[in-house]
Every structure is written in structure tokens, then in C-alpha cells.
Amino acid sequence: DVKVTQSSRYLVKRTGEKVFLECVQDMDHENMFWYRQDPGLGLRLIYFSYDVKMKEKGDIPEGYSVSREKKERFSLILESASTNQTSMYLCASRLGQPYNSPLHFGNGTRLTVT
Amino acid sequence: AQSVTQLDSQVPVFEEAPVELRCNYSSSVSVYLFWYVQYPNQGLQLLLKYLSGSTLVKGINGFEAEFNKSQTSFHLRKPSVHISDTAEYFCAVSEVDSSYKLIFGSGTRLLVRP
């Protein structure tokens, strides 16, 4: 069974802090994703990585950056946290081929920025 | 641009009653369609998917969905729900030619009452 592990379940940070959200998958998946989940808005894609050191912006990349130095790990970075980044963050991974491979999600990190 | 609409934000239903969760999409090209379920305090998991072929797709836990190309819909159904089906359900679409872009709807919370 694929396991996607997000390092923190709950996180509380102050405005202006640099925040790292970590995600590790154990199935050698090429693709990894960071989504943000907000009530009434569903899931919105922040960043996508299709392989090591490769990344693409999603729909809402502003205020975020990512790092993928190893295949199994995909980090989301909030350079200077703001209150409007309070949200649930979901990491997902999948095989690179075929394109319709299902996503496997972690349990999420609920981030509160005060 | 593709989009997904889930008109019902919440659907209350009594145990053992049938349920239908509605999903409509818009896209100018061929699509893959998915339903994901999110149980409380968990990440999302794949319920079922339509890739091609038969328009009636069966998934886990007794759920099924029907792809209707003319109405651009992919409604999810279950003939008899259980308390344990209480969860949030997300419809998602990706274009056949897209390598990673998966667009999620805003979600429908299914609340099963005894």
C-alpha cells in the first residue's frame, strides 16, 4: 500500500515566519503535488513536481515555493507566512505514467498562522 | 478551460436510503473523471474513475457513477447508504492530453443520519 506521510498534523506559526511542510512517499512515484484545501473551494493546486528537481507552478503559487531534492520527498515552503495562508495542506503522489494514475494523499497538515 | 461544479455543498440522508451526488464538468476536449472521498481527519482516497469504455463505473464501498457526455455529468450514486459513508466527496476532472492537471470540485458533504 502506498504511504504518503506529512510530517505535521497541526502547525501553528506566527506571521512572517518561514514555514516548511514536509511530505514523504514510499512508492517511488515520479509525480508529487501540494494542494491547499479550503471550505467551499475544494482543492487548489499550489505546485507540482514531475521528477527530482523539476517543478511547475499550479493555480495558486504566490507566496509559496517548493523543493524536491530526492524522489521521495517534496517540501512546501512559505517564505513569510501570512494569515491568509491559514489552511489545510494536502500532499499527494502518483506514478508518472499513465497520465490517469490515481493520486495518493497524505492525511494533511492544518496550518494556522496567527 | 476545464472546470468542475458540485452544486450541492451538503446532502443529508437517512441510513439505508439511496443517494446521488451531482457533478458537472466543462471541457473542450476528452476527459478522465474521478470521484475521491475524504473521511474525517484523513486525506482523500480514490472512490472510482472513468477513463473510457462503459459509461457506468463501479467503485469501492458500493458506489457507482455514470458518465453522460451529452450532459457533461458524472453523478455518483449509492442505492443504500450507511452511517460510515458520512464523508466529503470530491469530483475531479483531467484532460486526456494533460500530464498532471487535475481540477477538483468544491466538494459535497454527505451526512448520513440514523
pLDDT digits (tens, 9 = 90+) for A56-113: 999 999 999 999 999 999 999 999 999 999 999 999 999 877 777 889 999 999 999 9
Contact B26, B2 (CB under 8 A): yes
Single out the residue of A28, A59, A40 nearest to residue B90, CA to CA.
Answer: A40
Q: Residue A32 has which C-alpha cell?
A: 508529487
In B1-114 the beta strands, taken as DSSP E runs, fall at: 3-5, 10-14, 19-21, 24-26, 31-38, 44-50, 56-58, 64-68, 73-78, 87-95, 103-104, 108-113
Residue among B31, B39, B100 with most chain A CBs within 10 A, to mutate: B100
Cross-chain residue pair B49–A42, CB shorter than 8 Å: no
Q: Is A10 on the interface with B (CB under 8 A)?
A: no
Query: What pLDDT digit, counting tens, does each position of B1-22 carry?
Result: 678 999 999 999 999 999 999 9
Contact A36, A109 (CB under 8 A): no
pLDDT at A96: 79
A91 to chain B: nearest residue by CA? B43
Contact B90, A42 (CB under 8 A): yes
Chain centre distance of CA B68 = 13
Q: Which residue has the higher pLDDT, A56 or B98?
A: A56
Nearest CA-CA distance, residue A8 and chain B, Å: 13
Q: Is B41 on the interface with A (CB under 8 A)?
A: yes
Q: Which residue has the higher pLDDT, A51 or B110?
A: B110
Tell me what the pLDDT averaged over chain B comes to. Answer: 92
pLDDT at A91: 96
Secondary structure class of B28 (helix, strand, coil): coil
CA dihedral A59, B33, B89, A61 (to 10 degrees): -10
Whether B100 has a pLDDT exceeding 90, the answer reads no
Query: Rounded to whole angstroms, how far apart are CA atoms A95 and A101?
Result: 6
Whether A2 has a pLDDT exceeding 70, the answer reads no
Residue type at B90 in one-letter notation = F
Pairing verdict, β B87-95 and B10-14: unpaired
Under the banding of pLDDT at 50, 70 and 90, the label for residue B28 is: confident
Contact B85, B76 (CB under 8 A): no
Q: Which residue has the higher pLDDT, A63 or B97?
A: A63
Under the banding of pLDDT at 50, 70 and 90, the label for residue B89 is: very high
Cross-chain residue pair A40–B94, CB shorter than 8 Å: no
Bridge partners (DSSP) listed for residue A18: none
Whether B101 has a pLDDT exceeding 90, the answer reads no
